[in-house]
């Protein structure tokens, strides 16, 4: 059964759920709350990593459940150590600290993520831009601090993927990263968790796992089905904690939700959140939540952030041009907008 066929078959269910929004009470989101449990053969694990909560539910494969969980945990730790903007020894931290002065040698893995990010910048007319961090680091969501217009204007001189130069040796053995402006900074917060999910799915497959749900914050993948039933993936209600706005019955697909509720503070009634419009250096305004379904989590992640910045019209337009990509956008008034494939009209 093709991915799109499955989605079309689902559109009625989704629309029915959407009609209930915003009154829908908390439904079950797989898997349960926290820790590690085993129930009827299913393993359920939950832990904190990469600044968010990881959840893993799976039917053990060819290795012991413990071996599989540990492999996934170790992989997330490895990626956090490589890509975190807060860990001083991470390649990303080191690049931000030094690449404006001299080329910094980075791993091919990090280099490929920068390449992928650049492709998304090109695809989205720079709505997706990892150099948003040049301005983004001036925000402190916990302390409720946002930069003023002058500070944004000054920092924006260093923003833009044209300031990010990757030089590779002919054999592709070594990549060196340089920034062409002293203010330039990058952050992979809009794509790294999706990448980590894809890596986890590859590991689960290596361990013979055929049925699993794995998530990192708003990024997830459902591997196979739930042994005879589809997985019920809940899209968080953007304005009610622990409530589900829409439930998606799915199998073998990545689901990524970008919301303005993950990191934010309220100032003068305005929701100051963590998804920035690179054009203005201010939080992107029209939407409160974007969910993207795609075959790979890295794409779903980058696209959910991208569509959030692009807004309803341009966001849906982009989703329509991409094969095997579906999108559900929730606007500020609670209006829900679906890509055509979900409405069964394509």
Residues in contact with ligand ADP by CB under 6 A are: 128-130, 132, 187, 189-190, 193, 217-219, 258, 262, 274-276, 278, 301, 304-305, 309
- Residue (52 or 94) nearer to Mg ion, CB: 52
- Pick 129 or 198: Cβ nearer ligand ADP: 129
CB of 234 to Mg ion, least distance (A): 18
Q: Give me the least distance between CB of 136 and ligand ADP, in Å please.
A: 6
Site string for Mg ion, 252-291 (x = CB under 5 A): ------x---------------------------------
Look at residues 170, 252, 285 and name the one whose alpha carbon lies nearest to residue 5. Answer: 252
Question: In this structure, how many other beta carbons lie within 10 angstroms of the beta carbon of residue 44?
Answer: 19
First to last CA, the chain: 18
CB nearer Mg ion, residue 50 or residue 69:
50
Q: Does 220 bind Mg ion (CB under 5 A)?
A: no
Closest approach, Cβ 41 to Mg ion, in A, equals 33
d(CA 342, CA 329): 12
Q: Which is nearer to Mg ion, 21 or 308 (CB)?
A: 308
Element (H, E) at 44: strand 42-49
Backbone angles phi, psi at 136, to 5 degrees: -55, -30
Rank residues 178 and 304 by Cβ distance to ligand ADP and give the closer one. 304
Considering beta carbons, is residue 309 or 329 the nearer one to ligand ADP?
A: 309
Structure tokens at 24: 């829908």
Give, in order, the Cα–Cα distances in Å from 280 to each of 45, 148, 221, 301: 40, 12, 32, 22
**Neighbour count for residue 115 (Cβ, 10 Å):** 13
Measured from the CB atom, the residue of 61 and 217 that comes closer to ligand ADP is: 217
Q: Does 43 bind Mg ion (CB under 5 A)?
A: no
**Paired residues of 215 in beta bridges:** 55, 220
* Structural contact between residues 289 and 330, judged by C-beta atoms closer than 8 angstroms: yes
Which of the choices Mg ion, ligand ADP, none does residue 69 contact, using the CB cut-off of 5 to 8 A by kind?
none
> Nearest to Mg ion by Cβ — which residue?
305
- Measured CA to CA, the distance from residue 109 to residue 238 in angstroms comes to 33
Closest separation between CB of residue 309 and Mg ion, Å? 10
Strand pairing report for 253-259 and 219-223: antiparallel
Assess 136 for contact with Mg ion (CB under 5 A): no
What is the nearest approach in angstroms of Mg ion to the Cβ of residue 327? 12
CB of 206 to Mg ion, least distance (A): 25
Contacts of 262 (CB under 8 A, 6+ apart): 217, 218, 273, 274
Footprint on residues 69-108 left by Mg ion (CB under 5 A)? none
Residues in 184-203 that interact with Mg ion by CB under 5 A: 190
Closest by CA position to 273, among listed 286, 291, 255 = 286
Residues of this chain that bind Mg ion (CB under 5 A): 190, 258, 301, 304-305
């Amino acid at each position: 059964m093709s991915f799109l066929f499955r989605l079309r078959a689902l559109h009625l269910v989704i629309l029915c759920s959407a009609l209930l929004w915003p009154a829908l009470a908390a439904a079950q989101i797989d898997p349960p709350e926290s820790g590690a449990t085993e129930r009827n053969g299913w393993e359920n694990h939950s832990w904190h990593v990469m600044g968010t909560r990881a959840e893993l539910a799976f039917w053990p494969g060819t290795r012991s459940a413990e071996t599989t969980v540990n492999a996934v945990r170790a992989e997330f730790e490895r990626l956090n150590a490589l890509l975190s903007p807060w860990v001083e020894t991470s390649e990303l931290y080191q690049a931000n600290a030094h690449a404006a002065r001299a080329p910094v040698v980075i791993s091919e893995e990090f280099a490929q993520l920068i390449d992928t990010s650049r492709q998304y910048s090109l695809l989205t007319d720079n709505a997706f831009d990892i150099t948003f961090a040049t301005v983004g680091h001036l925000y402190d969501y916990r302390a409720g601090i946002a930069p003023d217009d002058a500070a944004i204007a000054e920092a924006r001189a260093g923003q833009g993927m044209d300031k990010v130069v990757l030089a590779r040796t002919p054999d592709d053995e070594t990549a060196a990263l340089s920034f062409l402006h002293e203010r330039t900074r990058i952050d992979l917060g809009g794509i790294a968790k999706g990448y980590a999910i894809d890596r986890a799915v590859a590991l689960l497959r290596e361990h013979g796992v055929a049925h699993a749900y794995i998530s990192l914050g708003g990024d997830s993948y459902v591997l196979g089905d739930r042994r005879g039933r589809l997985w019920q993936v809940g899209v968080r209600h953007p304005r009610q904690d622990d409530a589900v706005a829409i439930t998606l019955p799915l199998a073998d697909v990545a689901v990524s939700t970008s919301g303005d509720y993950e990191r934010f503070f309220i100032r003068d009634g305005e929701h100051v959140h963590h998804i920035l419009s690179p054009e203005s250096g201010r939080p992107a305004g029209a939407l409160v939540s974007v969910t993207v379904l795609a075959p790979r989590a890295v794409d779903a992640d980058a696209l959910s952030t991208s569509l959030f910045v692009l807004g309803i019209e341009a966001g849906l337009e982009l989703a329509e041009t991409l094969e095997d990509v579906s999108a559900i956008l929730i606007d500020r008034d609670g209006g829900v907008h679906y890509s055509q494939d979900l409405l069964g009209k394509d």
